[in-house]
Every structure is written in C-alpha cells, then in structure tokens.
Structure 1
C-alpha cells in the first residue's frame, strides 16, 4: 500500500456524500465503496437515474425508465430524456476563472465563467448565421486553447456535432478523418508552437479545406499573429471567415435540448495500418459518464483546478473539457510536455495552483527514468490528485509519484478508450492506493476472462451510457462488432490484458498495443 486517505478526505469526498444521500433520501444503506460498486452494476438503471438526480443534471428527465432493451447494442438509455451537454458545462456564473489557457511561450489567457458564457453565445450565434443546426458537423484543427473549448461548447449548444484534431497532425491524416463526416464548418489557427519552434498552419488548413467541398465557412483564429486573416487569404483558404466575424453578434445564450443519444462529438480511432474510424458519442451518455468519473472518482468541484496533458484529437482532451461539468476551472497547456525540459508541467501546476493533474502514463515513466524530483522544483502542496492514463500500469511509476511528487496525493492509473469516451479503470479517492492497480469505475461491470490470477482479457460485461451511438460509415455495425463486440459475444472487448488483484482491483498491461505515444494513448490520432 502506497497511500491511505485521511479520514477528513474520506468524509468530505463527493462519493461519500453520494452514499450518505442514497441512505438518507432513498433508503439505500451501502456500507463502503465495494457495496456501492456492486449495487451500481447490479442495478444500473437505478444507479444512473439517482446519479442524474444527485448531480442535478440540467435537462428534461422525462417519465420513462432509465433504460430499455438489453445487451450491448440493444440497450437504450433514458429514451424520454432531453439534455444538452453544453448547458450542463455552463451552469456556473461569475468572475472566477472558468478557463486558464497557457501557451508554450508563456502567453496566458484567463476566461471567467461569465465571459465564457458570453463567448459561447456569440460563437453559437455565428454558427447559426452560417446555417449550422442540429446534426451538422463542425470540424476543427486547433491546439489546446480557450478558442477550442469555446467553439466546441458553441457547437454542442446548438446541437451540431464537434470533431477536432491538433494542428500538428499530418495533412493527409486530417483529410482522412474529416472528409467522411462532411463538415459544414472548418475552424483552424494560423500557427502553433512546439518545442520552442513556430509552425505555420495556414497552408495545411487551405489544403484541407479544399478537400471538404460542403464547407459553408473556414474560420481562422489569429492565435499567433494579428495578420492571420490576410495571410489566410494569400494562401487561398476557401470560404474564409475570421474568428471575430464568427463572434461578432451578441445574443442570448440558449441551448437546444436534444434526445439523450443525440450526437455530441466524434472521436477518431484507428487500427494499425487502417483508416481512421469516426466514433460518435451522445450528449446524455457522455454527460452522465463524465460527471460520474470527474465528480465521484477524481472528486472535482468548484474549488478545484484541473489540468490534463492532452491534445484536441484525444479522448482525454474531451475529458478535460468536461471538468466544466463540475464547476471546476480547467487549465489548458498548449505546448510540448518536454520543453524546455520535463519539469514544465510540474512548474505549471505550482504557478496555476492545479489541484488535479492528469498525465500520460508514458510521461510519468519518462519523469521517473530521468531522475526528476518535481517536489524539489515546485511547490505542489495544493495538488490533491494525480491521474495517469494509459497502460501498462507500472507499479514503480506509482511509487515514484509518492517519493518524488507528494506523499499526500491520491494517485490513480486509468484505462479506457476513445471508443468508450472515458475510463473503465479509475480509483476512488476514499480507497487506499496500491502500486500498479485501480478499481473499476462505478456503474462499469468489468471482469477478466481466462485465469484472473495470471491474467486474461479485460472485458465489460454490461452496457454503459457512453458507448458509441454509432460509427460513421459503418451503418451495419460490422466494424464495431469485429473490433470490440465479436470476440466475446455479449461483452465489450477492451483489447487489453489485465489481472484481477486481491483487493478487487485490476492491474492492466497492454499487449494489443504495446507502444504508447507521448499522449499516453494507443497509436491513433
């Protein structure tokens, strides 16, 4: 055991309050986390229904049951509900920071909750003026910036569908991703910085836009220079509009409440040597799943600041944006995590007073292997939680966190996928931390096939709300069946090896995708 939560932290945790609320308001006395986990998977309808109530989800719950049907492909969640992800991300008001965005060269933007709501309203009005409505796709080639979050929330607020990639992705790879989903608007930046170098994005953006024939507009954000629009015109960006044009009109912030499974965003996943597959997630499923994960497991709330190492093409960037659902300030870092050296994210944690830091598993191991001692370089006393996404779970990496970062943080390894849009394995802050393992998330029925003591395949044995609504270009579901649902009929195959532990948790080791890219995700976008 590496860490045991203090009694005060256990008492103040959201998951503890949730258990108390279940007992007091609904007559469900669940004695501890194991009992809560068991109940959440044996009575999934009631669990997700009561989570909706406890988290005060904005929307129309409807009178129907929380789920109908059965099986991975036959279950329908909250069929009479109407919700909007963006409405729930923007419930907080006031002058406190909603977003703190830091660029590699030190340029920093702070956007208050009130200003965030105002800019989202303006961007949504701009999209509507372009004729964009429910179901239309908005594609973006943007770094991890406030502009990206504003554009994504504006897209969601009107019921359009968001899809994004970072600007350092290969141009042909961008076309492979975006062309099949036929976006109506393309948003991009004039350039970005990485590793101390400046890169121009306008030529690749123009090339991409010419490959997308249905565009109503290509919106250029002047991220690095004030003359971005003129330079974009010079390189022939088609249907050119400026970011200021998009946000030109002040309008009231309104939200289109949509069916629970209405498309929210698209995440791209690839098999080795294959074409990117656009996986579509729904408003309601992501809303409930991310609320559960961020509020219950990471214990986030209005007093927290969340920073996660990710780019806009990765599932964990979308997870980071969902920090807004809990009223948390999200901290965006656009830059290399190794420039000028591996201490940059730890120094940022001190400077921005980050309380929850998410890192790629590969980055944690790189810090350990380099001999870095973050606690000697930065004051990390406000840091409460460290998450590491990606497999395998390295026990010595967890030990390094307690030796070199802080002995008082709750550290959790995490495993999930772009297809599910979330984590399956993620510890609770009320449980002890043991090296190289973590438990399943609430509401997630996880098990290991074959011999649990020596390891087997990690599978999910019951549907989750955040499972894909559909995969674009796969009307029969053949690709999803082949890659996730066919090997173990009736179960979701996570394509990771795992071992069940004596503590009821899982140690995950990735054999299907042994190489990790710097984001901590498997090879892909």
Structure 2
C-alpha cells in the first residue's frame, strides 16, 4: 500500500479545478462563495472530478432553480449500487475488505469487495423473483450489521426503495413509520445483543408482519436468540448464498437521477413521522462533496483506498447512511453493533476505542455525547490499544463542547503527537448530508464547525429575513441543494413538505436550528428552534412520546422538552397532568418509563417527570413545547409567550416559576 505524503482531498480538488477549469481561489471563503453562486459550474465539477457514471448525458446541471422542486441533472441515469461496485477490482487487487464488522460479543467478520457484490446481487435476484420491481418499498428492522448494508445495495440495484428502523425501537414506533409506505418486503433480525443483554425480537417481528398487510415476503436474519419460530419467514442467509452465472452477469438498473433511493424519518412535533424520500443522484453527488470535507483517502494519495472509516451509529440515524456512503469511494467501512458503553452494563467507555484499535480504524466518528461521556468517565484513551492509525475524529448529533474537544486533542497528542483534526459536522436527516463540515486545512475551532459545506448556501437570518454575522439567527438555505427531499411519502400535494421547511419564508429553506456564523467563517449551532427531541444524535418527534404515555389511564395530558446542558448532553423533562386530580407518584413514573421503552426506546425516557397543573395550548389546541423550552433556556417570558394566543394563559406563571427554579439549580 502506497504511503505518500498526505495531500488533502480538498487540495486535490482545487488543483483539478485550476488545471481543468482555470479556476483559482485565494482562500476557502472564495471557494465557498463560488460554489453557492455558480451552482451549475460547481455541481458539474463535482460530477466530473469524481467521474460519476451515467449511461446517458444530462441536459443541464440545474434546469429549474426553485425550492422546493429544483430539477438536477435531468436526463442522467445513475445507480447508487453501481457507484459502489465500480471499486471492486481496484480495491480487491490491493487486498482491502469492503466491510469490517464486529459485535459486542466479539464476533468479527470481514467481507471482501467481490463478496459484497455477490451477496447483494444474490438478494436482489431473490427479491426480483418474489415480485419486487422498481418503486416497491423494502423495509428493514436490522441493527448495524453487514446484512443491512447488503440489503440496501440489493434494493438500490433493482430500483426498489429502501427504509430501515433499528431493533431498539418498539413495534408501535416502527409501525408509525412503515405503515405509511406499505412495504412489499420486510427484512428483520429475530434477536440482538445490546449492553450485554440478549433480546428476542421474534414477537416484535410477528407484530410488525400482522400490522403490515402489504408485506408479501419476510426475510429473517437468524440470530439464535429467538424463542419462537416465525411462520412463513425465509432465511436471509439462504437468500444471500446464490453464486452462479446469473449472479455474475447481473448489472444494477440504470435509473433516472431523481429516482427514489431511500426513505428516512424525521419527526415533527405533531402527527406521524415525516417519511422523507431522497433520490439516487442527489445522494451520490452530495456524498462525494462530503468526501472532500471528510478528507477520506487523503493519507494515501494519489489512490483513495486504504482508509478505514467508522462512525458509531444505530441504523435509524442518518449517520448510518453516511457511513455506508464511504463505499462510494472504495473506502473500507468498519461497523460496530452494540452499546458504546460496553456489554454487561459495565459502562466501559473504552469499548469503541478498543474496537478502533483492533481494526486499525483511520477515521473515527461518533455523536458528541459519546466524547462527553468518555471525558466524564475520565478514561485514558491510550489504555485501549494502539490508536496511532486514527488521523481524524468526527462529531455530530449535538454541539461538541470546546472543553471536550480540547480534552480529546490532548489525549491524542499523547498517542500521536501533534494536533488531531476534528471534523465537526451538522446537517440532518432532512438532506442526508451536512450543511456545515470540517476542512483539514482551516484553523481548528474547538466546539465549533469549521466552515459551511461547499454548495450549501447557508445563512443565519433574523426575524425580518436579514442575514446576520456574529449573532444567532435562524438557519436558512437560500438556494437549492441536490439532496433536499424529493417529497414526503404520502404527501400528495406537497403541502406537508412546504409547511415543514418553507412556511416562514416562501422559497427559502428554514432548517429549525439556531445558527451563528462568525466573521472568520466558523459556525455554531446553538440548539433546535423547534421542539424535536434530539437524544445523542437520534431524533424523535414529541408526538411519538405522547402516543406512548397518554394511552395510560392515569395520564390526562403531558408535555416534553429537551434542554441542552452545554456539556454535549441534554435533560429531557416531561410535565405530566395526572387524571382525576391524583398526584404524580413513583408508580406512575415507572409506568410511563416502561411505556416509552416499549413503544420507542430507552433513549427517550425522560430524566425527570414533573407534576403540572395543566399543559399550555394554543387556541387551536396545539401544545406549546417551544415557548416552554425557551423559558427553561432563560428567555424572557414576554419574548416567547403570546398570552393572547394561549387557551389557558393562567398556567403560564407556574411554568415561568419552574423555569426560574431550574435555571437557578443549573447555576
């Protein structure tokens, strides 16, 4: 393997722009400005630089610049799986695996590039034989294991539409998602190990199948942990075993640039989770820009192979999709299936570091809360193996405190010497990409995002729509971005899509985050400007939590808010109005906690339950989560609550008093 001096991917791209396009930039700010003002030239350059494959030429890079509804690369035909499989020959010749996977029980698997293709094609043929055609939905209930990656590629090969939920989600929450899309195929695991516990998921699979009459074929990953058989299920392993001339001759279908690739879910504060549809082409081109910001492969320039990329994630988080995206460049992806704090309830925050050491991970990513937990546990990272191969650390999910980043840098200075590069990113499920990212060549800004993403016309606006510098404002995107949603599934007239992002300013994307852009280009996300719950990088709408607890007879009403603590973590508070005037007690708290664990996940069990006299609602009946959250963040009551718009304004002073007590306690 060649070990040439490091050349960043951004440097390689800049050199190419100068050589091929005659473009030269004196700094990153100039380059970003060009990328967001000449969209056609920028995105054409990404296509050409990465040699993205199409059977047909495109008519124009951007044929209709509007949001929503921009038309990108019309006439081009692409396929996500084709872009992955194009690296097989070169990577395999170097003896590099496509996937390295380990679970918390210590089972390790490596899958070579030809084997990845053979298994994905084998499953694609099995699905085709079962009647799957373009546009059919394939739903998965799988953890972070190779079978999930294989199944995604199989779906993409056929033009079927992929969607996945993690098995740590309860069946009710999964059904809220899968019912919307009526999948033809379900792929599920019948048991998992997590935090040292063996969990039988066969009952959950049976519940899913019974409630999803659209499912015609069920493939099961047999874990050995199931206590009951699942009638009519087919073994996924058997479906992956085909190896014949038909497999060898198979080619992924050429698809229109905007053909749906997958459906991700991002919950709002009311109603069912949004079923967000992204296209093959949009995901491909934006992931390739992400590669420049991640600097994947640069340590081994001029070839881009040899990187070992890990981002700890559950399959229900968009970062799982981002990790799989490493395959688009011929990068080895390293999957860990299990608890980041170790098995057997040990709270061993060295678990992931030991995994990275064993497999010589070069690029290590995780949610900001993981790094904060490591610091709180006072671990010494070097105690967990030889981590000298790591050259980049990535974070997202919530703002990374500056002191945590500085702590991590000091840890790696002792391991490697010199400065560790942190790639702090922020974007979201909404675009399956980042709006803010890292840049290896820019100065470090502990606790901040180094820069705005190339091609992302992001600004911070005040209430009047005026751009701000050095002040907090609403995060907006003023020009189209290729991986913005094609549409929401079931949103026939597009009204929910428009309401979600374009209600505040027509034609301008409002993301729902508070943003500050400094004069030097560094950025800070200061929290959500809506009420979506974000727990360790996993988002859940408050409606899901209410659905879990308010069916209990003792609960008359409830309201939940997530308060960031400034240390990379947050506290989830639930205000509860008990039925029949009774007081909140430990039995009620236990029942609500159990209901949330069962229906959603333990991640969304509140840190504190608070007995409340009532829940503030608008005159139309909507719960006022955001105003109450802002009170608990220290905003003045006059700025966040319009009493004339509240149906029960008499209870607001009670919340204001509780917020004051909370803030004084936090100090």
- The TM-score with structure 2 as length reference comes to 0.74
Matched position secondary structure for 2:515: strand
Is 1:425 equivalent to 2:439 in the alignment? no
Q: Pick from 474, 480, 485: which aligns with 2:491?
A: 474
Aligned pair partner of 1:334 in 332, 337, 353 = 337
Q: Give the SS at the match of 1:41.
A: helix
Q: Using the TM superposition, give the Cα deviation of residue 119 of structure 1 relative to its aligned residue in structure 2, in angstroms.
A: 0.7
Match of 2:568 in 1: none
Contact 1:458 1:495 in 2 (8 A): yes
- Asked if 1:440 is matched to 2:447, the reply is no
Mapped to 2, the partners of 1:217 and 1:476 lie a distance apart of: 31
Q: Does 1:284 align with 2:281?
A: yes
Which residue of 1 is the match for residue 610 of structure 2? none
User: In 2, distance between residues paired with 1:477 and 1:368?
Assistant: 45
Given that 2:267 and 2:539 are in contact with CA atoms closer than 8 Å, whether structure 1 keeps it comes out as no
Residue 452 of structure 1 corresponds to which residue in structure 2? 469
Deviation at 1:63, TM superposition (A): 4.0
Displacement after TM superposition at 1:387 (Å): 0.9
The aligned counterpart of 2:300 is none
Q: Greater CA deviation, 438-447 or 137-146?
A: 438-447
Matched residue SS, 1:363: helix
Quote the residue 1:107 is aligned against.
107
- Whole-Å separation in 2 of the counterparts to 1:409 and 1:157: 38
> Equivalent residue of 1:60, what SS?
coil
Q: Secondary structure at the match of 1:275?
A: coil
Q: Which whole-Å CA distance do the structure 1 matches of 2:179 and 2:539 have between them?
A: 23
Per-residue Cα deviation, 1:182-206 (whole angstroms, up to 9, x for no partner):
1010001120011100001111101
Per the alignment, residue 424 of structure 2 pairs with 413
Instruction: Note if contact 1:97-1:111 (Cα within 8 Å) is conserved in structure 2.
Output: yes
Counterpart of 2:356 in structure 1 is 349
| Structure 2 CA distance for aligned equivalents of residues 254 and 293 of structure 1 | 27
The structural deviation recorded for 1:258 is 0.5
Q: Is the 8 A contact 2:58 2:73 kept in 1?
A: no
Residue 232 of structure 1: SS of its match in structure 2? coil
Residue aligned with 1:192, SS: strand
Aligned to 1:517: 535
**Quick one: which of 499, 503, 507 aligns to 1:486?**
503
Q: Which residue of 1 aligns with 2:144?
A: 144
Gapped regions of structure 2 (runs ≥ 5):
298-303, 463-467, 542-599, 601-667
Match of 2:80 among 78, 82, 85: 85
* 1:247 maps to 2:259: no
Tell me how far 1:349 sits from its aligned partner.
1.1
Quick check: 1:311 aligned with 2:307?
Answer: no
The residue aligned with 2:173 is: 173
The question of whether the paired residues in 2 share the 8 Å contact of 1:165 and 1:174 is answered with: yes
Deviation sequence 1:482-501 (CA, Å, 0-9, x none): 22111122211111111111
Query: Residue in 2 aligned with 1:462?
Result: 479
3-state SS in 2 of match to 1:444: coil
The change in CA–CA distance for 1:408 and 1:60 in structure 2 (over 3 A counts) is: farther
Structure 1 residues 199-220: Cα deviation after superposition (integer angstroms, max 9, x where no partner): 0111110110111112221101
Query: Match of 2:399?
Result: 392
Greater RCO, 1 or 2 (C-alpha within 8 Å, sep 6+): 1
How much does 1:276 deviate? 1.3
| 3-state SS of 1:34 partner | helix
> Which of structures 1 and 2 has the bigger CA Rg?
2
5+ residue gaps in structure 1?
1-6
Within the candidate set 375, 381, 398, 1:368 is matched to: 375
Partner of 1:3: none
Contact 2:340 2:349 in 1 (8 A): yes
